[in-house]
Structure formats: structure tokens, C-alpha cells
């Protein structure tokens, strides 16, 4: 599974920063027995990996080489790749920039790198719900599908996203 992280925005509302907003320290983590600051985007990367992503693609702007320097070619068990979005022209364009990397049969998850959400296992729960949907059938009523109706994530997922995800079986 791929994790797509759009990170090409300028972060103009929180400037001036000497680094990309995705690397803003939020809390700390233990790394090889040493406590260190944790970048806000690390929470998303960890949740994507926990949810099954083995490949992460950061969509960055030309001036965000600090993200490449921070993550390098991998994080934990996941390989990390980078795609450049020349101008910050929105999320849709960012997703299309990553599209050539993804095979037609590969699953994709998307997350915003400046948002921390709980529970950390939410993507795992969503994936399990959609596997159930694929085996039980997906004949949802207006506004929800069966897998989402029974999931604790039901109030967080737009109907169309959940339905499209479940229909890909």
C-alpha cells in the first residue's frame, strides 16, 4: 500500500519558520533510547505504516529539500520517495503528481502532514472494515456503506470516499 503525503504548500499562515511546517516539532519520541523532538509529519508517517503502507510518497515543492534530508529514503519499515510539485496548485494536483508511481492494483492512503489524529490505529480499522465490506457485499444505504456504518470511524469518513474504497474489490 502507498501512503501519499502532500507537502508542497508554503505554510504562509505560520511563517516565518526556518524550515518546512511539516517538520515542526510536536512532542517527542524515543529513538534508539534517546528522547528527541518529533516532527508533526512523523505522526502521519507512523500511522500510515501501522495501517499497512510499505511505500510513502511525499509530494514536495522545489524549496523543501529539508523534508528529504529529514526522512531520507526510508522511515521504519517503509521506503520513502519524493515527487516535486513545481507550484503549490492544490491537493488534487499533488495527488496526480504521485499517480505515475502507483500501479493500478495498489491501494493508496492519503494524509495531511500537519494533522495529528487519534486513534493511531484508525487506518488499520478502516482497512479491516473495508475488507469486511468486500467479503459481505457493499450495498449501503443513503449516506453510508455497511462497513462504515459499523466502524468507529463512521463520523469521520465522507460517504463517497468510503464507498469508492470499498467498491475497489
Q: What is the pLDDT of residues 95-147, one digit of tens each?
A: 999 999 999 889 899 999 988 888 888 888 877 776 655 555 554 444 444 44
Can you name the CATH fold of 2-117? Spore Coat Polysaccharide Biosynthesis Protein SpsA; Chain A (3.90.550)
Domain ranges in the chain? 2-117, 119-169
- Residue carrying C-alpha cell 510536536: 26
pTM: 0.76
The C-alpha atoms of residue 110 and residue 5 are separated, in whole angstroms, by 6
Encode pLDDT of 31-69 as tens digits. Answer: 899 999 999 999 999 999 999 999 999 999 999 999 999
Cβ(131)–Cβ(103) below 8 Å: no
Amino acid at each position: 500500500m502507498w501512503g501519499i503525503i502532500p507537502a508542497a504548500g508554503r505554510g504562509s499562515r505560520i511563517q516565518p519558520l526556518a524550515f518546512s511546517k511539516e517538520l515542526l516539532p510536536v512532542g517527542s519520541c524515543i529513538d534508539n533510547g534517546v528522547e528527541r523532538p518529533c516532527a508533526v509529519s512523523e505522526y502521519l508517517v507512523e500511522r500510515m505504516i501501522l495501517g499497512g503502507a510499505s511505500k510513502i510518497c511525499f509530494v514536495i515543492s522545489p524549496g523543501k529539500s529539508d523534508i528529504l534530508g529529514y526522512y531520507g529514503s526510508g522511515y521504519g519499515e517503509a521506503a520513502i520517495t519524493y515527487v516535486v510539485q513545481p507550484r503549490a496548485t492544490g491537493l488534487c494536483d499533488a495527488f496526480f503528481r504521485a499517480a505515475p508511481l502507483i500501479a493500478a492494483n495498489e491501494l493508496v492512503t492519503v494524509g495531511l502532514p500537519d494533522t495529528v489524529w487519534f486513534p493511531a490505529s484508525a487506518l488499520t480499522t478502516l482497512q479491516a472494515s473495508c475488507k469486511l465490506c468486500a467479503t459481505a457485499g457493499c450495498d449501503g444505504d443513503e449516506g453510508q456503506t455497511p462497513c462504515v456504518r459499523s466502524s468507529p470511524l463512521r463520523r469521520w469518513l465522507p460517504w463517497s470516499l468510503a464507498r469508492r474504497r470499498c467498491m475497489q474489490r
